Amino acid sequence: MTVLTIRRLEKAEQNKVWFTSIDLELQPGEAKAIHCERDIGTYVLSILIGQTAATNGEIDYFGQSFNGEWAKVRNRMGVVFLDDPPYERLTPSAYLQFFQRLYGKEADVTELLRQVHLLDKQKVKIKKLSYSEKRRLAFAKAIVHDPELVILEEPDQNIDLESKRILSKWIRSLVEANRSVLVITSNLESAISMTDYVYRLNENGLKLVEVIDGRNQTQNETSVDPTDVTRPFQLERIPAKVNEKMILFDPTEIDYIESHEGFANLHVKGQVFLCTMTLNELDGRLKPFGFFRCHRSYLVNLQKVREVMTWSRNSYSLILDTAQHDSIPLSKGRLAELKQLIGIS
């Protein structure tokens, strides 16, 4: 039985369209992530739990239509909200036992705490735990009633590295137990690290991100015919590494590329990804997509340029149309070529 089905889900308010046409299925034993802006993710989650009505579309849980009546499905689902402070006067053990009684379920509280590495803190007051430890306790609380589906909102935001490792392992254990996991996050790297299926939600709808397990790529990479590199279809995706996985970016998604200590860093919507190619290689590949070598250490997507800023007679910058209004250097020697490309005098 399909655990979650989303069909043509849309949300708009007055003159603002938050998202359009989400179509997604989640089967038992699958972990998938939706990568989107934080505000959009909040709307998606609130619709999934019945707090907000969608403008259009349908949601099914466990083969049954969901009309916003959360009480009918809450016992089969666990949710970890980004902002969900625990009862700090309790200990982790007592906290989980409280929710165990609330759901009327028998659970091995000791095992739940062991899974999130809090067994040694089970008798410590929650108010004395670190932020990361409190987040891990929230993970344990989400499965105290043995749900079939777990939804996580920004689960690794602001937690320490050890907690991120624990979280990834915990998600894998849920999948191995045939539970389903849906992660909603604004961090693409986190989405890739935690799940095998990542979807990007933006103004163009929901789109599957191409992710390849890097551990299975060595043989394929060494067997590539070098003459194939110049073929047009090879230009459609730019590889970047995230831990042991590789993500393939559409060139139009990239804002700019920066060379640092011999490595090329892709800047995509405020996040940075290490590319497996050099800046010179990328320069050759990306020219057909409107990229320009504005500086010896920078390639810029000209579609993202909003303004050419003159600081002095010999100092120029490009201001980009990004959320951060990124500024990157423009070499004086490249100014004339840039003007010719974009048709200004």
Residues 28 and 167 occupy one common structural domain = yes
The residue type of 90 is: L
Residues 123 and 93 sit within 8 Å (Cβ to Cβ): yes
> What is the rounded CA–CA span in Å between residue 77 and residue 150?
6
Note whether residue 217 is domain-resident: no
Residues 204 and 242 occupy one common structural domain = no
The residue type of 238 is: I
Work out whether strand 149-153 and strand 77-80 pair parallel, antiparallel, or are unpaired: parallel
Specify the length of the chain in residues: 345
Query: Given this model, what pLDDT does residue 301 score?
Result: 95
- 3 state DSSP class of 189: helix
Q: What is the CATH number of the domain that holds 56?
A: 3.40.50.300
Backbone torsions φ then ψ of 72, nearest 5 degrees? -75, -20
Residues 194 and 145 occupy one common structural domain = yes
Residues 46 and 185 occupy one common structural domain = yes
Among 208, 227, 250, the domain-final residue is: 208
CA atoms within 13 A on the CB side of 250: 7
Cα 304–Cα 309–Cα 314 angle in degrees, nearest 5: 125
Residues 89 and 151 occupy one common structural domain = yes
Query: Given this model, what pLDDT does residue 214 score?
Result: 55
96: tokens are 């989980």
Note whether residue 214 is domain-resident: no
> What is the rounded CA–CA span in Å between residue 131 and residue 85?
10
> What is the rounded CA–CA span in Å between residue 224 and residue 218?
11
Note whether residue 130 is domain-resident: yes
In angstroms, the Cα distances linking 225 to 27, 203, 210, 213, 222 are 38, 37, 22, 21, 9
Domain hosting 134: range is 4-208
Residues 143 and 77 sit within 8 Å (Cβ to Cβ): no
Residues 192 and 242 occupy one common structural domain = no
Query: Given this model, what pLDDT does residue 245 score?
Result: 85
Residues 51 and 153 occupy one common structural domain = yes
Work out whether strand 245-249 and strand 210-213 pair parallel, antiparallel, or are unpaired: antiparallel
Note whether residue 227 is domain-resident: no
Query: Given this model, what pLDDT does residue 344 score?
Result: 67
> What is the rounded CA–CA span in Å between residue 246 and residue 97?
41
Residues 309 and 173 occupy one common structural domain = no
Kind plus residue range of the DSSP H or E element containing 58: strand 56-61
Residues 196 and 74 occupy one common structural domain = yes
Tokens 């394929």 belong to which residue?
220
Residues 267 and 182 occupy one common structural domain = no
Note whether residue 215 is domain-resident: no
Residues 261 and 197 occupy one common structural domain = no
pLDDT along the chain (345 residues), means of 10: 95 87 96 94 95 95 94 95 94 96 91 97 97 98 97 96 95 97 94 92 86 53 36 64 86 93 89 90 91 94 90 83 90 86 71
Note whether residue 219 is domain-resident: no
Number of domains in the chain: 2
310: tokens are 């003159």
Residues 191 and 277 occupy one common structural domain = no
Q: What is the CATH number of the domain that holds 256?
A: 2.40.50.1020
Per the confidence metrics, is the pTM higher than 0.75?
yes
Note whether residue 225 is domain-resident: no
Note whether residue 213 is domain-resident: no
Residues 67 and 48 sit within 8 Å (Cβ to Cβ): no
Which of 2, 3, 6, 1 is CA-nearest to residue 48? 6
